[in-house]
Structure 1
Amino acid sequence: MRIAIGGIALEASTFCPHRTTLAEFHVVRGDELLARYDWLRDDWAADVEWIPLVHAYATPGGPALPEAYDALEAELLDGLAGPFDGVLLDVHGAMSVVGREDVEGALARRVRGVVGARTLVSASTDLHGNVSRDLAEAVDLVTCYRTAPHEDEAETRRRAARNLVARLRHGGRPLKAWVQVPVLLPGERTSTRVDPARRIYAQVPGAEALDGVLDAAVWVGYAWADEPRCRAAVVVTGDDADVIVREAGRLARSYWDAREEFALAAPAGTLTEVLHEALDSPARPFYVSDSGDNPTAGGAGDSSFALRTLLADERLRASGASVVLAAIADPVAARVCGAAGVGAQVSLDLGGHVDACADPLAVTGTVTALDAGNAVVRIANVSVVVTDRRTPFHHEADFTALGLDVRDGTDVVVVKIGYLEPELFAMAADWRLALTPGGVDQDLLRLGHRNLGGPVFPFAQPAPPDLTPEVVA
């Protein structure tokens, strides 16, 4: 049995002015690609010949440049000359390319065109991806994560591969019941840590366990792209048409019925409001999410809005509270800091070079740390991390590498993120979500969606939709 593995993954906000270049993709091939998947050593996978093609992943941001995407797609399709019994397509579901729509749907159709009708294709995606009819038709199996924040990425890829192998051994091509739900909400309102998403996703394993069902999946969709495919979706896969249609419809109705219940995963307010809550609170460390410029959701990561607000706040300055802001992507400023060295005073025009929601901010501060092209600059009681590229700060080690103690030595930690990732969530004594501007603004109505292809909640109040699933093949 020969199964090819490959994919191109990018979560891209069409409202973000950043453009993803080929150099920003981390590209793996051969044994390095296979090393992504620890389940290749499982018994069920042992007698399969896994053929690595190419896998490319970029930090979420703005849409990919066409020439970057086309080069990666061409390599992937060339490798599929085969013959192959199956293909594991490892994608995100919310990729955008400048000037194009439904990139994953188009990719799946091109993969199908190369490998032919007999080869089974299984796709693994993020639950913040989108499932268009084109994508649902072109693949034979498709599944997604069941947790947000994501703690089951590896298990989802394992499930996509295990189901593919099982159907190749016996069972063949399954049926798919697909339905879209006209609701489009950001991940910070649909975290599976809390209801109603927790309640909805808790139903998925039960649906999957039913006789006649192979897999069940619920997608939230991607809120920061303006495409007709962007909305929630459900796909239930199996052999009993009546059961998969019933279960897909039940899950879809659960999602639609809960649309008014979805709320932000943490108390929220303007950055000034939540900063003052942090100053009034004894909880330390107190975390604040600069949610509008979150680079792991598609933000540019270089907005100066949060730093400008912090430095202008008289209460913060008078309090003497220690603050860390992570991070502002500014390669020019990072190089200036590196050339100056630790202990040097530097003057910078910091941030705002990509995302113009706030202009570059003229600051003078002291370089307190340097590591791997990144720097820490202390300005009054604020230590701002300056990075040479768009960089998420999700782990304590990301901070300690720069000499920052965000567990015991910092009062307030402002991080460009949405809901806190598990390690930071466990570390935070308290937490607030700051509703800041940027390419992944939580105020969706402020962004100006125009191309959703019909009424979608919360942009409009759709009439009760027909949520009868369609069996696609």
Structure 2
Amino acid sequence: MSKRPVIAVAGLACETSTFSPAVTLAPAFHPKRGDEIVERYEFLHADKPLGIEAEWKGALIGHALPGGIVTLEAFETLSKEIVDRLQVIVAENKVDGLWFDIHGAMCVQELDDVEAELLRRVRAVIGPGVIVSASMDLHGNVSRELAHMCDLITCYRMAPHEDAMDTKERACRNLVNILQGKEPGMRPLKAWIPVPILLPGEQTSTRIEPAKHIYAAVPDVEAEDGVLDAAIWVGYAWADEPRNRAAIVVTGWDEAAVSRGAEKLAKLFWDARADFKFVAPTGSFAECLDAAVKSPPEERPYFISDSGDNPTAGGSGDMTWGLTRLLERPEFKSPDSGYTVIYASVPGPKAIETAVAAGVGATVTVTAGADVDNIHAPPLTMTGRVHSIKHGDRDAVTEVVLQVGSVFAILTKLRKPYHKEKDFTDLNLSPRSADVVIVKIGYLEPQLYDMAKGWMLGLTPGGVDQDLKRLGHHRIRRPMWPFDEDFEKMPELKTVWIDKSNEPLSGPDV
């Protein structure tokens, strides 16, 4: 190709639980447009190799905090803008490629397999000849239709996702390499294998076995001659669509190598199905609190994951169940109890208004939480001293710490995940010197993991309940491990070759 290829960028990303009563609206995606997109990704900047080798044209991307199902209106509004902006880009340029920047576990009211639906609309604008490269979360879902409409498709190889930016850059690098190859625009072969396993991320962390050795095999497959990329998707467990399951996709030029690699990864995953365990010791919330109270000093701070309402897995984030149970504990009733306990977090816009008006040091009575998810517990009324106030957070907007007895409860105007030490120290809290830190999360993100001296995963209720069988899936394909443990017929786990044309698929989505 004599000139730099022109590559458009578009996509929507949101991990959404269909078991949460929350809904996600368009503003939650914080859309970025045009040059804002290139600015967001340093590896696309003009002084970086990818920025030098290709011309990147941003349409619209939107990344929402995980939550409840996306409203149809929000999706239609954002997808229409993506299409409109792509039409302008196509009118002004010969577009050679598209980077499809998605997560893969977005659910929209009245629609199934919405990433495939979005790409179908995008393809109608850019045409069948444009090479599309998708980057995804390993907790996304890859239907046959999505794999069909993409030419390249890859995902993270680490959970927690410390390689998110590496994966996005790899998707773009693979795209540029194809566009600038010996036969520019030649489409690779795509081997797709669905695997009938659906597990929560807290059982499939790459920190521990068996996911550790399964994902360690991905670079080995990718290193084979004739293989371009290899990827394993765990799938997303807290939504109920036919596409929800694990999947393997290997792309490349050598049919035998691509097929062999895909089947190797699928077999590794399937053979380990009974070996997946939770990433930390588990227990009921009461059992976790008992263990924390009894823990020796060298095991503190003792972290507890209030996992059922994890806002970064799709929980509403506004359940009060965990904080209510915590404040009922007699050990924490007094500020002089000898314990320092941090709880993150519960939204409460009206509670925030009251606390901000009263100021730091004031004693207030406020009610917070359960505006969205009151299935398991009602709004919580508590009286405490305002410990700190912070304005201007991207997610929370305003944060208040209320000390109730020896519990420092973080209240927010809007829901927010607490993953970094700075999230706490900015609120005049010291998690390293606390006795107990309770966070609405599943597996601990890296900074929390490094701080924790003790840790248990609380099997708490909510929209991302770790006990999948009690959620009530009824649309996933069966049999599916672990919903079904006795398979009358074992899955074949053989390569399904995805049609390289961009015509509609014929035949069932196997």
Question: Under a length normalisation based on structure 1, what TM-score does the superposition of the two structures give?
Answer: 0.98
Matched, 1:421 2:437: no
Check whether the contact 1:344–1:367 (CA below 8 A) recurs between aligned residues. yes
Aligned counterpart, 1:88: 99
| 1:219-368 correspondence runs (5 A) | 219-282=233-296, 283-317=299-333, 320-356=338-374, 357-368=376-387
Aligned counterpart, 1:186: 200
Matched, 1:60 2:71: no
Check whether the contact 1:27–1:54 (CA below 8 A) recurs between aligned residues. yes
Matched residue count? 472
Q: Which amino acid aligns with 2:219?
A: P
Aligned counterpart for 2:414 among listed residues 389, 393, 400:
389
Distance in 2 (alpha carbons) for counterparts of 1:69 and 1:336: 35
| Offset at residue 118 of structure 1 (A) | 1.1
| Offset at residue 42 of structure 1 (A) | 2.9
3-state SS in 2 of match to 1:158:
helix
Aligned counterpart, 1:34: 38
Identity over aligned pairs, percent: 51
Q: Which amino acid aligns with 2:245?
A: R
Aligned counterpart, 1:199: 213
| Offset at residue 44 of structure 1 (A) | 4.5
Aligned counterpart, 2:22: 18
| Offset at residue 245 of structure 1 (A) | 1.2
Check whether the contact 1:369–1:376 (CA below 8 A) recurs between aligned residues. yes
Aligned counterpart, 2:394: none
| Offset at residue 366 of structure 1 (A) | 1.4
Q: Which amino acid aligns with 1:362?
A: T
Unmatched 5+ stretches in structure 1: none
Aligned counterpart, 1:406: 431
Q: Which amino acid aligns with 2:342?
A: V
3-state SS in 1 of match to 2:410:
strand
Q: Which amino acid aligns with 2:388?
A: A
Pick which of 97-106 and 173-182 moved more: 97-106
Check whether the contact 2:193–2:495 (CA below 8 A) recurs between aligned residues. yes
Distance in 1 (alpha carbons) for counterparts of 2:349 and 2:31: 22
Distance in 1 (alpha carbons) for counterparts of 2:364 and 2:107: 38
Question: Under a length normalisation based on structure 2, what TM-score does the superposition of the two structures give?
Answer: 0.91
Aligned counterpart for 1:466 among listed residues 488, 492, 500:
492
| Offset at residue 316 of structure 1 (A) | 4.3
Pick which of 337-346 and 54-63 moved more: 337-346
CA deviations over 1:120-151 (Å, ceiling 9, x no partner)? 00000000000001100001000000000000
3-state SS in 1 of match to 2:277:
coil
Distance in 2 (alpha carbons) for counterparts of 1:23 and 1:239: 42
Pick which of 169-178 and 108-117 moved more: 108-117
Pick which of 122-131 and 107-116 moved more: 107-116
| Offset at residue 317 of structure 1 (A) | 4.0
Distance in 2 (alpha carbons) for counterparts of 1:47 and 1:180: 35
Check whether the contact 2:348–2:367 (CA below 8 A) recurs between aligned residues. no
Distance in 2 (alpha carbons) for counterparts of 1:335 and 1:450: 42
Distance in 1 (alpha carbons) for counterparts of 2:258 and 2:84: 35
| Offset at residue 454 of structure 1 (A) | 2.2
Aligned counterpart for 1:380 among listed residues 405, 420, 428:
405
Q: Which amino acid aligns with 2:206?
A: T
Distance in 1 (alpha carbons) for counterparts of 2:368 and 2:80: 38
Matched, 1:370 2:389: yes
Pick which of 285-294 and 71-80 moved more: 71-80
3-state SS in 2 of match to 1:203:
helix
| Offset at residue 315 of structure 1 (A) | 3.9
Check whether the contact 2:319–2:346 (CA below 8 A) recurs between aligned residues. yes
Distance in 1 (alpha carbons) for counterparts of 2:72 and 2:338: 48
Check whether the contact 1:7–1:90 (CA below 8 A) recurs between aligned residues. yes
Aligned counterpart, 1:46: 52
Q: CA RMSD in A?
A: 1.2
Aligned counterpart, 2:503: none
Check whether the contact 1:188–1:419 (CA below 8 A) recurs between aligned residues. yes
Distance in 2 (alpha carbons) for counterparts of 1:226 and 1:256: 21
CA deviations over 1:183-236 (Å, ceiling 9, x no partner)? 000000000000000000000001001111000000000000000000000000
Check whether the contact 1:3–1:48 (CA below 8 A) recurs between aligned residues. yes
Pick which of 461-470 and 391-400 moved more: 461-470
